[in-house]
C-alpha cells in the first residue's frame, strides 16, 4: 500500500535512535507524505541526526515535550495528523533505576496526552512503540520458552513498568473510547544513531577509544537482537495492515549472550579482549529475552531481513565512519553520567 501527499504523520521522539531511523525509512519509501517530528531533545535527542531533513518542506521539527498538553494540542490543531507513532520515551533501564520519576512522566503521562489529542482531533490512528521488556524475563536454561502476545505483563524495572503502564493505557483507550490503537513490542535494536549508553554503541565507542568494556556480571544475560531497519519495516506494516486493538511482537530470532557480543566487537575492531572488565551487575537484571513474532509474520508477512553478522558489521562501520556524530555526544554531561554509572561499579 502507498501513502501519498495527503497523509500527515506525527513521529514523536524522532531525534532519538529508532525514531530517526523510522523517519529516514518513511522519507525514502513515501517521498510525498508530510512528516512532523515533536521531540523534547533530552540528552538522547540529537538535532544533528535530523539536520539533513530540515530543508525538506514536507518535514517539520518541533521542540516539544509530549507531556505539554497545550503544546501537543496546538500541534495537532496546526497539523491535523492522520497517524501518530509514539517513539518518544525515556529508554534506558539503568537511568530508570537511578531516577524513575521522569520515566513515569514521559512514558505514561506523555502517552496519555498524545492519545487524548488523538481523541480530540478526530480519532486519529495511534501506534504505541513498546518493548519486549514488559513481559519481564525468561530463564536462561529454557530455550524453548518465548514471549508471545499472551505472555502476562511482568516488568522488572521502573523503565519497563512505565512502558507496560502505557501499553495498558493504550488498550484502555481502544476499549473505552474506540481510539484506533495498535501496540508493538520489540526486542533489542541496534544500528546507526544509537546513543552510546546502550550495550552495542557503548562497547564500540569505548573500544575505538581504547577504554575498558564494562560487562555487567558474568555477561551471560541474553538479548534477542534486531537491526533497526527491520523494526521500522514492521511498524510500517502494522500501520498499513495491522488490526486496531491488537498487540504485535517484533523480534530478531537472534539470541546472543552479552559477553559474546562484546568479544565480537573486540575482534571486529582489532582490540584485545583484555579491555573487558566484569563490573557489578544491574539491579534486578533481566536474564533472557526471546520473542515469538509468529503473529506479525503470519498476519502481515513480516520477517527480519538483516542477519546479525551483516547488521553488526554495518553498525560497527557506521560508528567508525561517524566520529563527528558521537564524539560531541560523549563529552560534557555524558562524562558525568559515565562516572556516576560506572565509577561506582568497578
Point out which residues bind ligand NAD (CB under 6 A).
Answer: 12-13, 15-19, 39-42, 44-45, 65-67, 87-91, 106, 110, 129, 131, 163, 186, 188-189, 195
CA torsion sign, 65 to 68 to 70 to 73?
Answer: positive
**Closest approach of ligand NAD to the CB of residue 294, in Å:** 18
Distance CA 41, CA 52 (A): 17
Q: Which helix (H) or strand (E) holds 278?
A: strand 276-279
Any catalytic annotation for residue 132? Answer: yes
- Residues 30, 65, 137, 159: which is the catalytic one? 159
Distance CA 93, CA 341 (A): 12
**Closest approach of ligand DAU to the CB of residue 85, in Å:** 16
The C-alpha cell of 156 is what?
Answer: 522488572
Residue number of the CB closest to ligand NAD reads 16
Distance CA 21, CA 233 (A): 10
- Picked from ligand NAD, ligand DAU, none, the partner binding residue 223 (CB below 5 to 8 A depending on kind) is ligand DAU
Q: Give residues in contact with ligand DAU (CB under 6 A).
A: 91-93, 131-133, 187-188, 198-199, 202, 214-216, 221, 223, 258, 282, 289
- Picked from ligand NAD, ligand DAU, none, the partner binding residue 17 (CB below 5 to 8 A depending on kind) is ligand NAD
- Nearest residue to 203 (alpha-carbon basis) of 279, 119, 295, 254: 279
- Picked from ligand DAU, ligand NAD, none, the partner binding residue 214 (CB below 5 to 8 A depending on kind) is ligand DAU
- Picked from ligand DAU, ligand NAD, none, the partner binding residue 216 (CB below 5 to 8 A depending on kind) is ligand DAU
Distance CA 149, CA 293 (A): 9
Q: Which is nearer to ligand DAU, 46 or 188 (CB)?
A: 188
Cβ proximity of 138 and 145 under 8 Å: yes
**Closest approach of ligand DAU to the CB of residue 186, in Å:** 6
CA atoms within 13 A on the CB side of 46: 22
Q: Which is nearer to ligand DAU, 206 or 306 (CB)?
A: 206
**Closest approach of ligand DAU to the CB of residue 61, in Å:** 22
**Closest approach of ligand NAD to the CB of residue 274, in Å:** 28
Using the structure block, give the residue that is written with the C-alpha cell 518465548. Answer: 146
Q: Which is nearer to ligand NAD, 215 or 275 (CB)?
A: 215
Residue number of the CB closest to ligand DAU reads 131
Distance CA 343, CA 88 (A): 29
Cβ proximity of 4 and 32 under 8 Å: yes
The C-alpha cell of 206 is what?
Answer: 569505548
- Residues 65, 132, 224, 229: which is the catalytic one? 132
Contacts with 70 (C-beta within 8 Å, 6 or more apart), sequence order: none
- How would you class 238 by CB atoms within 10 Å of its CB: exposed for 0-12, middle for 13-18, buried for 19 or more? buried
- Picked from ligand NAD, ligand DAU, none, the partner binding residue 87 (CB below 5 to 8 A depending on kind) is ligand NAD
User: Annotated active-site positions, please?
Assistant: 132-133, 159
Amino acid at each position: 500500500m502507498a501513502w501519498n501527499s495527503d497523509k500527515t504523520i506525527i513521529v514523536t521522539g524522532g531525534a532519538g535512535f529508532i525514531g530517526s531511523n523510522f523517519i529516514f525509512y518513511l522519507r525514502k519509501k513515501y517521498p510525498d507524505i508530510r512528516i512532523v517530528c515533536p521531540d523534547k531533545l533530552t540528552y538522547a535527542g540529537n538535532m544533528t541526526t535530523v539536520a539533513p531533513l530540515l530543508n525538506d518542506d514536507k518535514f517539520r521539527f518541533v521542540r516539544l515535550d509530549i507531556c505539554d498538553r497545550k503544546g501537543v494540542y496546538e500541534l495537532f490543531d496546526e497539523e491535523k495528523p492522520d497517524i501518530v507513532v509514539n517513539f518518544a520515551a525515556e529508554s534506558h533501564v539503568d537511568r530508570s533505576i537511578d531516577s524513575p520519576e521522569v520515566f513515569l512522566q514521559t512514558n505514561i503521562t506523555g502517552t496519555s496526552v498524545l492519545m487524548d489529542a488523538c481523541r480530540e482531533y478526530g480519532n486519529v490512528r495511534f501506534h504505541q512503540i513498546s518493548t519486549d521488556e514488559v513481559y519481564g524475563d525468561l530463564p536462561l536454561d529454557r530455550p524453548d520458552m518465548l514471549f508471545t502476545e499472551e505472555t502476562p505483563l511482568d516488568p522488572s524495572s521502573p523503565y519497563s513498568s512505565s512502558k507496560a503502564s502505557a501499553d495498558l493505557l493504550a488498550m484502555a483507550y481502544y476499549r473505552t473510547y474506540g481510539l484506533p490503537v495498535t501496540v508493538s513490542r520489540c526486542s533489542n535494536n541496534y544500528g546507526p544513531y544509537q546513543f552510546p549508553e546502550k550495550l552495542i554503541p557503548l562497547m564500540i565507542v569505548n573500544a575505538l577509544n581504547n577504554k575498558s568494556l564494562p560487562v555487567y556480571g558474568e555477561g551471560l544475560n541474553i538479548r534477542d537482537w534486531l537491526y533497526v531497519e527491520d523494526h521500522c519495516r514492521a511498524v510500517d506494516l502494522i500501520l498499513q495492515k495491522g488490526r486496531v486493538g491488537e498487540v504485535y511482537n517484533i523480534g530478531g530470532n537472534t539470541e546472543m549472550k552479552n559477553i559474546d557480543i562484546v568479544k565480537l566487537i573486540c575482534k571486529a575492531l582489532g582490540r584485545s579482549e583484555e579491555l573487558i572488565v566484569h563490573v557489578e551487575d544491574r539491579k534486578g537484571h533481566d536474564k533472557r529475552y526471546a520473542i515469538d513474532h509468529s503473529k506479525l509474520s503470519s498476519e502481515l508477512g513480516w520477517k527480519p531481513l538483516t542477519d546479525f553478522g551483516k547488521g553488526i558489521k554495518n553498525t560497527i562501520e557506521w560508528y567508525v565512519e561517524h566520529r563527528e556524530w558521537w564524539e560531541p555526544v560523549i563529552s560534557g554531561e555524558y562524562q558525568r553520567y559515565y562516572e556516576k554509572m560506572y565509577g561506582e561499579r568497578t
